[in-house]
Chain A
């Protein structure tokens, strides 16, 4: 049943910090976030941790557990040996605010750069008709809970701060792909994805897919298809010829 868990939690802020040791009583069936809450309620009332739903649906409690980007509420203690020390740090790609809380405003800034959805006009009866087969790809991407773990693990920005200005990150490639595959959207976002969003920076090492708590196949279903769409436009001689000969605007491949 219950046992005493050893934890090392990073405490500190921008000026510095360290891993602090705690021992906390935990119960069967608990997750890492429960243990942290107990530390907070009994030993360190000012321990900062961001969380909301505690059911893996809101994506607030992102952190790194034993060095791996995870949701605190979806990591069960039973995944570890009782005697194992669990180390929790804030996400290491974003500036820290305090303790386990990071400043994720990078992501909200990138969200502003994605051109909005621009649908075709509705049918005469006011409805917009879309077939299930046509919305399913987008629906997979819209499962995203914006935990930003994919952004955290992506080495393009994790290991290179200066890339942040020119790279939107996997979460937003997902968004570009969703809009580009939307059956009713009228924008062409491929140029932008390749240019401003930095799609070409991605070297598809798939860490985003590995950490996604929603199991979205970010690389295979969003990033690579977007790269292929860019190839259509810029690097494929056959498609280029086709568009010249048939005078077909590429965007309009239905």
Chain B
């Protein structure tokens, strides 16, 4: 609601115009951290976000921030964290990103504390750390089960303190280019529907993910893949788009909350998964890769909670892709719960006071939304679309995309998590790479001096016409209907388990949705009109969905967040390849690209035990 700013007067196109060195799109953890970094590097920065400040999806993160601080287990260090991350991603991660992430995360956490975050403490007064799936040591800095909220509030308050301009409820619909460089962004105010133009040599994409393309998702309406689509349209490339993480435990009942997350901490604190026969089915689903470190009987698994050194972890704490697949197959085999999930039981294993203390917001969530008392009865849970590992292909050190002046950080960037992300690695990813992208964008703008790329009036006018199209077409489709059809299609054909025929079918159906979406009609006027907003987000969702389906069709193996029924095993050959997607002339093309090669001293970490 910042209407004015140190901007320049409007130009020939007649729209409100602002000039900045760095424009950050998105105000989640990565966007805010990027803005703070760019500001610290001396740049004039704007944050543009679709919602109000402080509402971004980061608030939903529950478990914690993974950082090898060694506060609970002194044996922990960045090498172990790096190794866990790479193994969790099935070695498909960009090794350099994983390394930087593991090395810098502890510093980023301490920074939050310096800005006012109040983490839970150890008895020595240090930041406490908790166990999570896939992490060898207790490593997640946390605040109860609302760590994301703490993080976003801290960064938000920092942004306010620094006086960074924030354009709230403002959506970017197009990036503008001058030749091959970024020169600006075109946006509209959600409140008034008026257009505005940012003149800027750098844009940091921090728009989050794509979950809204699926029916059952933990993501909010904002997750429409805007950054992915903007990057593609601007000429940047996406990688790893076939890898979509389905969180194993989302709520399945009542229908209105289907998909909302149940934190993995439930399992970390003693919760177990059972099928309708009461069996802990995860013991039958331990993959070879993790056999050595996973308990194979209930007795050992139960002892682990108290004695982590001498026992192996319960299989419920395997990486998310493994658990999600196992739950999926239990349900398919007819051993699911009444509402189509499985049972997550902590009530019979821990006393009520313990549950309420350790999992306060889960207790509330179930009590208030589902009328289920998790201290007395089991929860019903099932997989829910949670996170996309794929994203804009970026340089590991700087966050720069293949387009000059375009940067990406957080969920919208690809590579860091390989084929599967570990819980807790997302918040740390936002901080580490948000900062790097912000700094490097500011440096780039600084090096450029006053010779800025130009915004062409023509491009601006085209963007405005494009944005207004849904008002001029009559008798077209209702955007809500197409969104629903898209979600249904992605859930059905490009879900957890995929096969060739279904993926091909999905591409055909996407084609027809694309055609229908060319002719959208919305009622009403431009002032705060959600129908219009959706009509502008929808092409992004369709584009990103197509990328997922295409990449999923090409990758003929199963790995992490990509499971092919017709190729159930990982293949060595695919294990060294990324799939890179680019767009030109409205068509998406896809090519294989070898992974960056890990240097010898890091490779050693995987050989020693």
B residues in contact with A101, CB < 8 Å:
191, 528
In the complex, residue of chain B having the shortest beta-carbon distance to the beta carbon of A213: B368
A116 CA to B120 CA in the complex, in Å? Answer: 21
Q: Tally inter-chain residue pairs, CB-CB below 8 A.
A: 175
User: Does B531 lie within 8 Å of A53, measured CB to CB?
Assistant: no
Whether B59 sits at the interface, judged by CB under 8 Å, is: yes
Q: How many residues belonging to B are interface residues under a CB distance threshold of 8 Å?
A: 67
In the complex, residue of chain B having the shortest beta-carbon distance to the beta carbon of A133: B121
B residues in contact with A76, CB < 8 Å:
368-369, 371
Within 8 A of A (CB), among B231-265: 253-257, 260-261
In the complex, residue of chain A having the shortest beta-carbon distance to the beta carbon of B144: A139
Q: Quick one: CB contact mask for B45-64 with A, threshold 8 Å, 1 for yes?
A: 00000011111010110000
Q: Which of A25-33, A149-157, A201-209, A239-247 contacts B (4 or more CB under 8 A)?
A: A25-33
Q: Quick one: CB contact mask for A117-139 with B, threshold 8 Å, 1 for yes?
A: 10100100011111110010011
Residue numbers of B with Cβ under 8 A of A are: 1, 51-55, 57, 59-60, 110, 113-116, 118-121, 123-127, 143-144, 146, 149-150, 153, 157-158, 160-161, 168, 191, 220-222, 253-257, 260-261, 361, 364-365, 368-371, 478-481, 484, 522-525, 527-532
Whether A253 sits at the interface, judged by CB under 8 Å, is: no
Those 7 A-B pairs whose CB atoms lie nearest each other, nearest first: A29-B254, A46-B524, A129-B125, A45-B531, A117-B116, A116-B161, A41-B480
Q: Quick one: CB contact mask for A160-188 with B, threshold 8 Å, 1 for yes?
A: 00000000000000000001001000000
Whether A103 sits at the interface, judged by CB under 8 Å, is: yes
Whether A142 sits at the interface, judged by CB under 8 Å, is: yes
User: Does A99 lie within 8 Å of B157, measured CB to CB?
Assistant: no
A131 CA to B53 CA in the complex, in Å? Answer: 30
Q: Which of A55-63, A218-226, A230-238 contacts B (4 or more CB under 8 A)?
A: A55-63
User: Does B143 lie within 8 Å of A108, measured CB to CB?
Assistant: no
B residues in contact with A143, CB < 8 Å:
146, 149
User: Does A55 lie within 8 Å of B146, measured CB to CB?
Assistant: no
A residues in contact with B256, CB < 8 Å:
27, 29-31, 33-34
Q: Of A42, A55, A98, A105, which is within 8 A of B528 by CB?
A: A98
B residues in contact with A128, CB < 8 Å:
110, 113-114
In the complex, residue of chain B having the shortest beta-carbon distance to the beta carbon of A13: B527
A residues in contact with B255, CB < 8 Å:
27, 29-30
Whether A52 sits at the interface, judged by CB under 8 Å, is: yes
A236 to chain B, nearest CB (A): 29
Between A and B, 12 residue pairs with Cβ closer than 8 Å are A31-B257, A31-B369, A34-B256, A41-B478, A44-B523, A46-B525, A46-B529, A51-B221, A53-B59, A57-B59, A130-B121, A139-B118
A145 CA to B364 CA in the complex, in Å? Answer: 14
Tell me whether A129 and B126 are in contact in the complex, defined as CB-CB below 8 angstroms, given that A101-B528, A117-B115 are known contacts: yes
Whether A74 sits at the interface, judged by CB under 8 Å, is: yes
A141 CA to B27 CA in the complex, in Å? Answer: 22
A residues in contact with B220, CB < 8 Å:
51-54, 58
B323 to chain A, nearest CB (A): 21
B490 to chain A, nearest CB (A): 18
User: Does A130 lie within 8 Å of B125, measured CB to CB?
Assistant: yes
A135 CA to B143 CA in the complex, in Å? Answer: 11
A residues in contact with B221, CB < 8 Å:
51-52
